A and B are shown apart, each in its own frame.
Chain A
């Protein structure tokens, strides 16, 4: 996507609030930006970090569910 196609920057930040009240901020989960350097960084690194944070949150939830079943 060319910068000319992006008239403004946009971001989505997500926070999980588990049923027990635990809050897990996931930070920037999705980004679009006119800045080509920032766009390249998000494409190569930022998006992967965001996915990694989501995977970690999924793992934590699975572990918590397993612990509660054991208990």
Chain B
């Protein structure tokens, strides 16, 4: 597992929108994940690989100095583990409410980089033409809203279609640049070596985005 942090393509979209006068909602929602099939975080990601059961927390945001005055945006948040688990990814998102998520149960996309059907465990409630992430791949759901049988366009948002999609893989909604809503704005994403936590253990994450 590579230890990588990225700010996503959607983050760049949000930052330029804010500079251009858009209404900002500061990314302060801190979350974590424990997917057993977690790849390495990438700028193309729109969602965590597999978000853990604990709720996201609203971190404390501030502007701090790294090199020149006020050149760094910082968020500090702490999550307490409700079970024994291995955490291997952290996220900084805009919404504390988790987006829609379910798991893969079948379809031609399983084990294939070109299959375009995906069967999921729970009825897909977001609208058609929204996006999901499975492992490191972003897919667009072109049909199937309201059902568990989805038609997907593979390898979206610059991601690579994966031949490793498997049953039980987490499926999570997320927003590529140019899309919004559904609590799907992922700002920063980090993957790292699995960290074993017991019930009651907590992890304090300090995120920094440095414009130095």
Mark A residues whose CB is within 8 Å of B.
Answer: 5, 7-19, 26, 29-32, 47, 50-51, 54-55, 57-58, 61-62, 65
Contacts and interface: CB of A to CB of B under 8 A. Distances in A.
A15 B80 CA distance: 12
A17 B78 contact: yes
Given A12-B188, A32-B6, 5 more contacts: A14-B90, A15-B203, A16-B203, A58-B196, A62-B196
Contacts of B195: 14, 16, 26, 54, 57-58
A50 B208 CA distance: 17
A11 B203 contact: no
Nearest to A30: B5
A30 B193 CA distance: 10
Interface string B18-45: 0000000000000000000000010100
A13 to B, nearest CB: 4
18 contacts: A8-B211, A12-B90, A12-B190, A12-B208, A15-B203, A18-B200, A29-B192, A30-B4, A30-B192, A32-B6, A47-B3, A50-B192, A51-B3, A54-B192, A54-B193, A57-B196, A61-B201, A65-B198
The contact size tier of chain B is: 35 or more
Interface string B193-212: 11111111111111111111
Given A12-B206, A17-B204, A32 B4 contact: yes
Contact of B6 (A10, A51, A58): A10
Contacts of A17: 78, 201-204
Contact of B203 (A14, A31, A65): A14
Interface string B175-196: 0000000000000101111111
Contacts of B209: 8-10
Nearest to A29: B192
A10 B192 contact: no
A13 B167 CA distance: 33
Nearest to B212: A9
A18 B204 CA distance: 11
A12 B204 contact: no
Interface in B1-15: 1-7, 12
Most buried by A among B43, B195, B212: B195
Contact of B198 (A26, A30, A61): A61
Nearest to A11: B208
A11 B207 CA distance: 6
Nearest to A19: B200
A7 B12 CA distance: 9
Contact of A30 (B12, B190, B199, B201): B190
A17 to B, nearest CB: 4
